[in-house]
Amino acid sequence: MTETILILSDRPDGQVKQLRTALRSRGFNVQTLPLADIGFDTRYPSGIAVPRMNGALPAAVIVRSISSGTFEAITRRLGILHALAHLGIPVWNSAKAIERCVDKSTTTFFLAQAGLPTPETFAVESLENARTIAERELTHGPLVLKPLFGSQGRGIRLIRNIEDLPPPEEMDDVYYLQRFVARPGPPYCDYRVFTCAGEVLGMMARQAEGWITNIAKGAKAEPVIGPLRNKLEELALAASAAIGTDFAGIDIIPAADGKLLVLEVNSMPAWSGLQSVVPVRIADCIAGALVTRIEPDIGERPAA
């Protein structure tokens, strides 16, 4: 019987379609659905109910997106991913890796614990505690305030004085503050490195007139050439290992003194910008690495 691989996504974007094509070309059925549609169901031996699979389990799962929801809903969805992994199903990325990446403060904790260079970071609750941090740290230069859960450069603010701190309701009462990294510009530049299964698939420089250099905010993708590639590759692989990702987009920023700092690790990265400047087909590489991982395991999982 042909095995099925699930792609969990709330929208069938171009990258989902690329993954689906790459996996089907390798002989797998592919089903795409939101994680929210998978339920716990104790009628089945596996305890998991996947729509249209009648109690059967997939060969593997790729998580492309998890939609927003209540605390209870997100907890249940992550519980599904934990349960699938408990049953021996490869889940890329795992619930643990997603939890570490989605919460930026946890990402920075693990990066720092691994000894990787990352900007000084402070994450606290309440405006009062954020003011205390700002009073102490702004004497050393500006801070960057980011949503704890956020992506694509949305909601980022530069904090130059205490009055720049927004009210608690705008930040869900959580203040994630990072030291602003001065760098040459304009144009300003940072780097996105894409890793998969312990290898670097590609990297790009992102250039913008403003200091926020996300492709979604209008930054331009450029290829990375020269000896800098080796250092970027080393940092990205170490960051991926520190967080425990199977594939990831690692954001690295160059300081004015030339030092490279790891900013973020993205467990559900987009790659349309990167694909425009690298020769390898990102989706095909992810599919190939996942199939290599699961083929020895097929037939060894618990029956439905």
Task: State which residues form the domain around 150.
Answer: 121-179
Number of separate domains in the chain: 3
Confirm whether 252 is domain-assigned: yes
Tell me whether residue 166 is exposed, middle or buried, using C-beta atoms within 10 angstroms of its C-beta: 0 to 12, 13 to 18, 19 or more.
Answer: middle
- Biggest alpha carbon–alpha carbon distance for the chain: 65
For residue 50, the domain's CATH number is 3.40.50.20
Confirm whether 258 is domain-assigned: yes
Which residues are bridge partners to 189 per DSSP? 207
Task: Please report which confidence band the pLDDT of residue 304 belongs to, taking 50, 70 and 90 as the band edges.
Answer: very low
Confirm whether 280 is domain-assigned: no
pLDDT in tens, 64-97: 999 888 999 999 999 999 999 999 999 999 999 9
pLDDT in tens, 109-153: 999 999 999 999 999 999 999 999 999 999 999 999 998 886 655
- CA 22-24-9 angle, to 5 degrees, is 70
Which amino acid, residue 99?
E
Indicate whether 232 pLDDT > 80.
Answer: yes
Confirm whether 274 is domain-assigned: no
Written as six digits, the tokens of 56 are 């059967």
pTM for this structure? 0.91
Tell me: do 260 and 197 sit in the same domain: yes
Confirm whether 113 is domain-assigned: no
Tell me: do 164 and 187 sit in the same domain: no
For residue 127, the domain's CATH number is 3.30.1490
Q: Which of 159, 179, 199 is the last residue of a domain?
A: 179
Question: What does the pLDDT read at residue 150?
Answer: 66
